[in-house]
Chains A and B, each alone.
Chain A
Amino acid sequence: MDVHDPRPPEGSGLIVRDLAVSYGPVAALRGVSLEVPRGSIVTVLGGNGAGKSTLLRAVSGTLGFHRGGVTAGEVRFDGARLSGTAASSVVAAGVVQVPEGRRVFARMTVEENLRAGALGARDRRAAAESRDRVLTLFPVLAERARQRAGLLSGGEQQMLAIGRALMARPRMLLLDEPTLGLAPMMAARIAETVREINGQGTTVLLVEQNAAMALSLASHAYVLEVGEVVLSGPAGELAASDEVRRRYLGVEDDGDDGNGGGGDGGPAARTSGGARRDLSASPRPVLARWSA
């Protein structure tokens, strides 16, 4: 499915063209092209191991930390070439990533983590402002300002990771699973925040397992599978597509492929909240008790 929508002026926003990435012998992305027009929110969906994080790493120039590298294609932001430049230059260009798995600086305090986030920003007053904004967004961070970040709860760490990225006042934000481990209310808050900062002009590329949320925020969506873009289009259309509904939203029909590996999940098991569904419909594995 490919839907033609009005292209933004050439050279503004993030453009990824024919990107191929490999980790040593392992090819993780092949011929991936995607666009995030300035001022928009675009989401990338895909199962575990599809290459979503790899894509973000390629944009922010941190593949080297994983012994990976871009083997073909390029990444441009607002006309300037990002691929091949150092991570710090990408930040300097205004592109900031919230990495997967929180990655807070565990030994530093919450306060210091936020300051680390502002290292890329030059304007002092702006830094103070962003700090206020972050602390209003996540009041718990203000309460825990002097606590070592490593001791925060999982969700609190996730908030810190997002807050830290916001400190840099990026022109473009790359979010890798920002709601991982967040309580429903907090996830909703994150969604609002993303919409809000987008409203203030920040372009957002969002990688999410929570497809419903991602599709409701984004104007445009791409689906990655095993390193390739298999679907793309306006978010609304994708959300309506059977394929996406089945695979990533987890609605309706059965027809299990029962695969244990990552990436290609079976049909989602969730129906409306609270109702206990009969889970014994499909044959379930059995483990004998151990006796010795």
Chain B
Amino acid sequence: MSKKVILCCAALVAAVAVPFYLEGFWLQAGLFAMSAAIGAIGINLLTGATGQLSMGHAFFLAVGAYSYVYFAAEPEGGAHGLGGLGLPAPLAALLAVLAAGVAGGLFSPIAGRLKGAYLGIATLALIFLGQHVLFNAEPVTGGYNGRAVPPMELFGFVFADSPELVVAQVPFGALERLWFLGIALLAGAALFARGVLRGRPGRAMNTIRDHEIAAGVMGVPVARYRAGVFVLSSMYGGLAGVLIALVFQRTVPDYFGLLLSLDYLAMIVIGGLGSVAGAVTGAVFISMLPQLLSRYSDALPLVAEPGSGGVTPAEAARLLYGAAVVVTVLFLPGGLAGLAARLRQATTRRAASPAGHPASLSPSPAPDARN
């Protein structure tokens, strides 16, 4: 217990210290990872815990990002003549998350009825339809070019480069300021999801995944729960969208495409299905990998400078990323989080009794799982 507290405190101190030491590139990479982690927690609730495959997560990020921009932008619009509602930024962010939830809710006739591959591919439609709307609803979305993101403002504190702010001789620009916002949002999102997963809704979700009919008979309103989880996961997507928009300072429709959705699936598989820690680990891995590779492309032996022929950093990142997904599933059934759990168990087991079952679950499919 106290060990846990110490660990948490250490993590907190480290997180706070980061902006004072690392340069913009790292802060930005970290913020991307935080946003990705929030989104991944969301889709892990849906796909990992409830067994509902979704390939449309990027759509909800888009809804979050664009809603925030629209709600927060000045009614008159800026240079591009794109208007908004001019709401206070925190309210706009909150409403944006709710909007993503509503979008998820609108999809619930499908989300509540379909499962497996069918749901997965049906959600693919969200991406394409969503992008169609983003491209065409120009007065709101700015069309192909997207639009600029109004900065977050909390109690008069603006999360942007100006007005200038220097803390302990370190200039605090948008990224430094957003870093703290990101940490807070991620921590909140993670704790919330953990509560959900370990509580009554989590059990219901797991049972829907494992045995839908049994869940219903035990009193779980299955369709409503499915839809509910879909909405919740959409809201996580929406929050991730708001954060990424703030970091980006611009939203463009292209970003919210299929590849982003696939990234999210890769994150939860690599991290470990169904757990919050898994989602976060996977998100950090997937979103940092390409950045690290391109940053250190000159130092890495196999990776060529862009433009010089050979494997470029972007290509290397994708190769590694694909391979990581495969390798995780082949050799780390529980993902990175599962690996960590096993390591932890191995150390505690050595301390305690040597007996007990192996940590890895999923023996063969139970004989009764068939019909």
Contacts and interface: CB of A to CB of B under 8 A. Distances in A.
Instruction: Report if A and B touch in the complex (beta carbons < 8 A).
Output: yes
Interface of A: 23-26, 65-67, 99-104, 106, 150, 157
A265 B371 CA distance: 28
B370 A103 contact: yes
B364 A106 contact: no
Interface string B338-371: 0000000000000000000110000110011011
A99 B367 CA distance: 9
A187 to B, nearest CB: 20
A153 B230 CA distance: 34
Interface in B164-218: none
A65 B367 CA distance: 12
Given A24-B358, A25-B358, A26-B357, A150 B370 contact: yes
Given A66-B363, A67-B364, A157 B371 contact: yes
Contacts of A26: 357
Nearest to B365: A65
Contacts, number: 28
Nearest to B367: A101
A100 B363 CA distance: 16
Contacts of A24: 357-358
State the main secondary structure of chain A at its contact with B: loop
Listed residue (B358, B363, B367, B370) with the most chain A CB atoms within 10 angstroms of its CB: B370
Contacts of B371: 102, 104, 106, 150, 157
Contacts of B367: 99-103
State the main secondary structure of chain B at its contact with A: loop
26 contacts: A23-B363, A24-B357, A24-B358, A25-B357, A25-B358, A26-B357, A65-B364, A66-B363, A67-B363, A67-B364, A99-B367, A100-B367, A101-B367, A101-B368, A101-B370, A102-B367, A102-B370, A102-B371, A103-B367, A103-B370, A104-B370, A104-B371, A106-B370, A150-B370, A150-B371, A157-B371
A99 B365 CA distance: 13
A24 B362 CA distance: 13
A155 B363 CA distance: 26
B189 to A, nearest CB: 33
Given A65-B364, A101-B370, 5 more contacts: A25-B358, A101-B367, A102-B370, A103-B370, A106-B370
A106 B367 CA distance: 12
Contacts of A23: 363
B48 to A, nearest CB: 22
B298 to A, nearest CB: 45
Nearest to B356: A25
A103 B369 CA distance: 9
Interface in B324-341: none
Contacts of A103: 367, 370
B245 to A, nearest CB: 45
Nearest to A63: B364
A117 B298 CA distance: 60
B345 to A, nearest CB: 13
Listed residue (B363, B367, B368, B371) with the most chain A CB atoms within 10 angstroms of its CB: B371
